[in-house]
Structure 1
Amino acid sequence: MRYFFAWVGLLFLPLLGAGHSVSFRSNQGMSVPDSAKESHRRFQLIPLPVIFYTPETHVAYGVLGVCLFRTDSTARTSNIDFAIIHTQNAQTVIEPTYTIFTKQEKYLIRGMLLYTKFPELYYGIGSGTTNAQEELISYRSLRAYNRFLRKVKPGWFVGIQQQYFKTFNVHRSSDRQLPEQTLIGGLGSVVNGLGVASVVDTRDNIYSPVRGWYADVSFMEYGALLGSEFGFTNYLFDIRHYRSLSPNTVLAGQFYLNLNIGEVPFKQAATLGGSSLLRGYYNGRYRDNDALIMQAELRQHFFGRVGGVLFAGAGDVAHRPSEFSISDLKLTGGLGLRYLISRKEHLNIRIDAAVGNKTHGFYVNISEAF
């Protein structure tokens, strides 16, 4: 059983929460035109120092952050998130992500860049793997994922998407033989895909929604014509709903289905676990072609900037959809604490403790799990 401990630099929270986030000014504090003042109010940069420990990385440290801005008064808030992490074992993660609503929300542009030099525990493929199969796989990876979506009508966007993923310098901690086709891409892989996506987003707020729907349905094709070393097709369904039960209580639910057909490298396989999908399980503890996850949260505001969350989830992986079974579902549940760092954007720091089947996890992040 592996676990994850994390501590946020809590001494910085009163400063961030009090509105002392980093922002750009002009004329060194002199009076500025109203339009410039409006631009200033639209932009907010919130950095957050973090330090954590895992058995695989030892001490790790870095910066999480989010840049919030609006392209105009008719568009919802856009964001650029970033994470820069380095560890005692000389491991590195650099990950900027972005979601941009253009003027009048005519376009939705979303994507991420990722560089990692990080070890990952690997247990094999399938729902029935055991802890005895555990080994450490270290690798480097480069990932670029981008979407360009156009508004069809208010709250509904349709467009194209692309993903490039390269895994290289792969090393295993074990030289034991694995069953055939369970470590596809074990010597490294390059995949590149193109596809289409449809996003319905009627949430009142993208960071801590109180009401509305989010439905992301997409298709991606990876093949030799695009430069992929492996050919496969991905279908993704991510459906979320938010409902206000009272002025201080919100019920949130998510249905997530990830399907892959073809020769799928282990880094592109569907997985359970991590800070967002089935908390309490190590990210990748279970992996296969397909993953099915259902989870719900009861979010409660307590007082001031403080809130709490009660959450539960169930999920599993399978080689094909017909192999999903209720009896094999992995269950998880837990409690969370929320601290509001931006009143205007309803942006929280979340601290979650989750328990699964003979496993548990502790997570610190910016914004909600879903």
Structure 2
Amino acid sequence: MRMPRNLLLPILLCCSVTVNARQAPTSGNSTDTTAPRGLYQRVLHYLQHTNDESKHKKVDLSFIGGPVYTPETSAGIAVMVAAQYRTDRADTLLPLSNVAVYGSVALTGFYGLGLNSTTIFPKDRFRLMLKASFSSRPDKYWGIGYGAGSSKDAYTDYLLLTEKLQADLAINLSNRFYAGISTHVQNAQAKDIDTGAGKPLMEPKRVFGMGAGPFVVYDTRDFIPNPAHGMYARIGYRFYPSFLGNRTVFSKLELQFDWYKRLWKGSILAMDFYAEEHSGDVPWNMLAQAGGSNRLRGYYEGRYRDRNYMAGQVELRQRVYRRSGAVVWIGGGNVFSRFNELSFQQTLVSYGIGYRWEFKNRVNIRLDYGRGQDQSGFYFGVNEVF
């Protein structure tokens, strides 16, 4: 699914406005004290100064709005309010906490609201990660397994209503090790299903899932939204028992490993490996799904889904000129029912290029173009994909 060419320019020129929680002082590099006049001049002024640093602000609050596009939702409009802050302003070595609230609508009829936040408590003793979202999305269902997804046009159209909440609370065990409990709640309903003969159908139409379990993290990243060096490793397990309201009993084992290194001036090599293993009677909408804006860019998210999923990618990020940068990547992944059925001949290859613009200090707006074996797509968002 491709984006019309006339959408590229407005996406690159998206309107972004920064609002400070307290009045920001004039940047030390700027001598211009004249207030801009007119909407265009004000927008241009804000875009030129969004990454100016100020050590006097309690909260660095930003508003971003403009056109967006993904293969799953098509073209639309999105707005986001984001904030960066420290829970202990006196501790300059404490990593920044962040929170983002976003909303979007698209031409396909998609609409959604969401919240992402990472709170790092004083002395980094605790970390709380929250993700919450609600969305109504016209979707496609190919069925389960590589064989089902390989038939590109053999899908069922339907409307998916989804509510999600995930909370991870971790305690600092030592300098870089963290351990905690992850809880996950998801309620999904399939509506307006195209029940044409021969098309794959999802059963049941309504699925509720609630689970919890432990996780362990090792994190040496220098800056969480956009690391330049260090590594991140996480292994977690969640169990979905019947006494929490699940119709079926199942579990999920998740593994993630990211690594970052500076190669030369303005260049970062980033690597990501991710795996999911599901056991038990797993509902169709909670199986591992390949594709989307983070891994295997270029494939429609959910076209390939199964009990197990492995994916890896390597990305080279290069600052090109001032606040502009570029990335190239290549990756691959597999979905499969059992490990003895893993076939490298069924590997889904993904590669692409992207543009980066530094909206805030080390916080990038990104535009990516990814290609798969028989699909491609543009992706627009904030922060790096990993």
- Output one character per residue of 1:135-163: Cα deviation in whole Å (capped at 9) or x when no partner: 21212121111011100011211011111
1:349 is matched by which residue type in structure 2? Answer: I
Tell me the equivalent position of 1:118. Answer: 137
Alignment match, 2:106: 87
Cα distance in 1 for partners of 2:300, 2:174 equals 39
Please give the per-residue CA displacement for 1:48-69, whole angstroms capped at 9, x wherever unaligned. 2132467885652221342111
Following TM superposition, where does structure 1 have runs of at least 4 consecutive aligned residues deviating by more than 6 angstroms?
none
Unaligned runs of 5+ in 2: 27-52
Alignment root-mean-square deviation, CA: 2.5
In the superposition, relative to structure 1, how do residues 338 and 59 fare at CA in structure 2: closer, same or farther (>3 Å)?
Answer: closer
**Is 1:132 the counterpart of 2:153 in the alignment?**
yes
Q: Distance in 1 between matches of 2:332 and 2:14?
A: 35
User: Matches of 2:244 and 2:286 in 1, distance apart?
Assistant: 16
Tell me, which stretches of 5 or more residues in structure 1 are unaligned? 30-36
Superposed CA deviations along residues 52-95 of structure 1, whole A, max 9, x for unmatched, are: 46788565222134211111223201111222012345432111
Deviation (angstroms), 1:249: 1.2
Distance of 1:301 and 1:319 partners within structure 2: 41
1:228-286 deviations in whole A, cap 9, x for unaligned? 12210100001000011112211110110011011111221101111101101111110
Percent identity of the aligned residues? 27
Evaluate the alpha carbon distance shift between residue 363 and residue 212 of structure 1 in structure 2; reply closer, same or farther with a 3 A threshold: same
- Residue of structure 1 aligned with 2:187, choices 166, 189, 192: 166
Q: Following superposition of structure 1 onto structure 2, how do residues 4-83 of structure 1 map, counting pairs within 5 Å?
A: 4=3, 10-11=12-13, 21-25=18-22, 40-52=56-68, 60-72=76-88, 73=91, 74-83=93-102
Q: CA deviation at 1:120?
A: 1.3
**SS state at 2:153 partner:** helix
Equivalence for 1:271: 289
Could you say which residue in structure 2 is the equivalent of 1:33? none
DSSP 3-state at the match of 2:99: strand
Q: Which amino acid aligns with 2:343?
A: S
DSSP-derived class of the 1:361 partner? strand
Q: Displacement of 1:183 after TM fit?
A: 3.1
Q: Find the counterpart in structure 2 of residue 176 from structure 1.
A: 197
Quick check: which one's strand share is greater? 1
Question: Superposed, which structure 2 residues align to 1:247-262 within 5 Å?
Answer: 247-262=265-280
For residue 236 of structure 1, the aligned residue among 254, 269, 274 is 254
TM-score calculated relative to the size of structure 1: 0.88
Q: Pick from 316, 325, 329 the counterpart of residue 307 of structure 1.
A: 325
Distance 2:173 2:66 in 1: 40
Moved more, 169-178 or 125-134: 169-178
Please say if residues 155 and 199 of structure 2, whose CA atoms lie closer than 8 Å, have aligned partners that are also in contact.
Answer: no
Cα deviation for residue 338 of structure 1 reads 0.7
What per-residue deviation string (whole Å, max 9, x for no partner) do you get for residues 200-219 of structure 1?
11101112211101111100
What secondary structure is seen at the aligned counterpart in 2 of 1:104?
A: helix
State the shift of 1:39 in Å. Answer: 7.6
Amino acid at match of 2:103: I
Task: Give CA deviations for 1:79-113 in whole Å, capped at 9, x if unaligned.
Answer: 11222012345432111111111111110100111
- Are 1:316 and 2:331 an aligned pair? no
Give the distance between the partners of 1:12 and 1:122, measured in 2 at CA.
32
Distance 2:274 2:75 in 1: 33
Residues 156 and 199, structure 2, Cα contact 8 Å, conserved in 1: no
Q: Distance in 2 between matches of 1:221 and 1:290?
A: 16
Alignment: residue pair count: 352
